[in-house]
Chain A
Amino acid sequence: MEILIYGTINSITLALYALGFAVVYGVSRLPNFAHGALYVLSGFIAWTLLNTLRLPYLPAVLLAVLATGLIGALIYQLVLIRIRGMEIAEIIASYALGLAMLEGLRWGGFKGMTYTLPALLSGSTIIAGVPVDYQRLLMCGIGAVVIALLWWCTHHTRTGLALRGMAQDEQAAMMLGVDSDRMALVAMACGSMLAALAAILLLPLGSIVVENGYNVLILAIAVCIVGGLGSWMGAVLAAFLIGFSQILTVVYLGAHFQMVVAFAAIIVTLILKPSGLLGQQKELEERV
């Protein structure tokens, strides 16, 4: 029972980490290596708004999510738009931007265990004999809602359909009047906002540390690769797969092996089926 509950919680955590990355990559084929940095950055923005400007919880959190979305959009508009399609440059530039953000925060004195975000709900309850705190339940709830909302938006709104069109075939979408750069901008903003949302939900469970940025990036990429880069539902499925196997290894082998699972999952996926569980990319395009 413990395994089931913690597995679900862990899986939704991973899905929240990964969705932002998957959305950006899926639409614009931009590997956003600054994803982890945006996650940590939004945590710090929320912390600053709460503690320095003393805003109440909800406006502060909403502002932090919007600000991160804006930062993501700015990154796209100022930097990434100029190098789209040049794979090496995209990777290096977004990675460098993420590194600059994270190390900048570290230099700015945000380190140690002193920075924590308050939880929206405190206290805990017992489900089937396992203690679970409310924040984790809330996170599961919101995570499920976000996944559902994302599905709904991409199937029933104009922008969402345009995004999906871009993801499937950029040239055909452009012929049908979808502005590729604008959609990529929207995707980048959405991806950043998803990262921020994940941060706001997940950071109260621990403290805000810069190293989180790297871990989140790795986990997000692991989930996306296993699910198939660019496939959103694949990412959710992979999150559950990796989430449960992580909890199982923690229970049966020890906590040290948690990251090993993520890594092993990537290697196995890449060798057996590089397009991932639900990836729809042509095999020939990604491997020789």
Chain B
Amino acid sequence: MAAEQHRKQRIDRGIKVRSDGIYALMSGRELAYLVLPRSTLIVGLLLLPLLLPDLYWQRVITITCLYALLAISFDFLAHHVGLVSLGGAFYVGVGGYLAALGNTALGLPVWATIPLATAGGGIVCTLLLLPCLPLRGVYFAIVTLMYPLFMARLIEAFDIVGGTDGIIGIDGFPNHWVEQYVLITMVLLLLFGLRRLAATDFGLVLRGIKDNDQAVRASGIQVIRYKAAAVFIAAAMGCLAGACLVHIYMWSGISQFALDFSILPIAATVIGGAGTLVGAVLGCLILVPLSELLRDFGSLRIVFYALLLVAFIIFRSEGIFNYARRKYEQFERWIPI
């Protein structure tokens, strides 16, 4: 007789089932089950600057938040709308240059340049990407990969907005507490805002576009308009990150179109858990400090993330967050067949 075979059975935990329905939210335990994971993230992020008073680590926190914004934007566009944008650096560059120009040429203060660069950059990026929006899959990825490289070339070739030297003499934030809390608040607001958005009808249409855009079009919905709106949201987030970056470093240059801003958020999203938005933030919280620790290795660290990324895509394509969520919500057992 053949050896007894087993299969893994996964069943939702009772507490999950009970707390799914609003009527069951009566016991403190069920409330805690729902609230604890979310509040851990929120409180943890808010406390982070207080726990790490070292100036160096405070800079790392701000950079992590910048990358988190980019990662959320990538995750939203790729896994909720189905547009894979390999050009996160493009948004960073556009937002950064707009903020820098607003600050140096027009003399606007920091609190005015950041919102302006965010909204204006979002509009500029959306307009520039508008011709490519009917494309899908590979085509869109290719075009977005080229935009940042192309912009860098253009700035070099025409020697506009500072050329290869960049723009210097940009105002910084009043102090690093403001800097950190502005970014942390933005990350949290946008994270939970987008999660909420994904649950609305608007988010439903976007997911429909991702799964089957022909069907969405057949339902009489203008696909392009929805895609443009989604690209605007994602681009504005990237521009926000770029504008903050420029004010943090008080300098704006071609390096903002560099590949780092495109690849790291993608790696963070895949490692953290694609499609969950929170996973993107988690991935950044892991990868960015790690890359700071590996700074001595120079370009070897890019090799390191790239390989980590490939390994995750092949062996753990669900990502850390989805894995953790499964463990949290379900129990597993082996049962004989």
Contacts and interface: CB of A to CB of B under 8 A. Distances in A.
Interface string A213-235: 01000100100010001000000
Interface string A249-273: 0000000110110010011001100
B263 A99 contact: yes
B131 A271 contact: yes
A100 B135 contact: no
Binding site secondary structure of chain A:
helix
Interface in B255-299: 259, 263, 266-267, 270, 274, 297-299
A103 B303 contact: yes
B138 interface: yes
Interface string B108-147: 0000000000000000000000011011111101110110
Contacts of A130: none
A83 interface: yes
B207 interface: no
Given A263-B150, A271-B131, A287-B136, A99 B259 contact: yes
A25 to B, nearest CB: 8
A286 B213 CA distance: 11
A156 B305 CA distance: 44
B135 A287 contact: yes
Q: How large is the interface on A (under 10, 10 to 19, 20 to 34, 35 or more residues)?
A: 35 or more
Contact of A288 (B136, B156, B297): B136
A92 B270 contact: yes
B306 A99 contact: yes
B52 interface: no
Contact of A104 (B84, B259, B303): B303
B135 A286 contact: yes
Contacts of A270: 131-132, 135, 139, 143
A101 to B, nearest CB: 8
Given A107-B298, A107-B299, A97 B306 contact: yes
A100 B306 contact: yes
Contact of A87 (B135, B138, B153, B154): B138
A172 interface: no
Binding site secondary structure of chain B:
helix
A260 B132 contact: no
Interface string A270-288: 1100100000000010111
A173 interface: no
B306 A96 contact: yes
Contacts of A79: 310, 314
A288 B157 contact: no
29 contacts: A31-B138, A83-B317, A88-B79, A88-B274, A89-B313, A92-B309, A93-B309, A95-B86, A95-B145, A96-B307, A99-B259, A99-B263, A99-B306, A100-B307, A103-B300, A103-B302, A104-B299, A107-B303, A214-B149, A221-B142, A256-B157, A260-B157, A263-B146, A263-B150, A266-B146, A267-B143, A270-B139, A270-B143, A274-B135
Given A97-B310, A107-B303, 10 more contacts: A87-B137, A91-B141, A93-B310, A97-B306, A104-B299, A221-B146, A256-B158, A270-B139, A288-B214, A288-B217
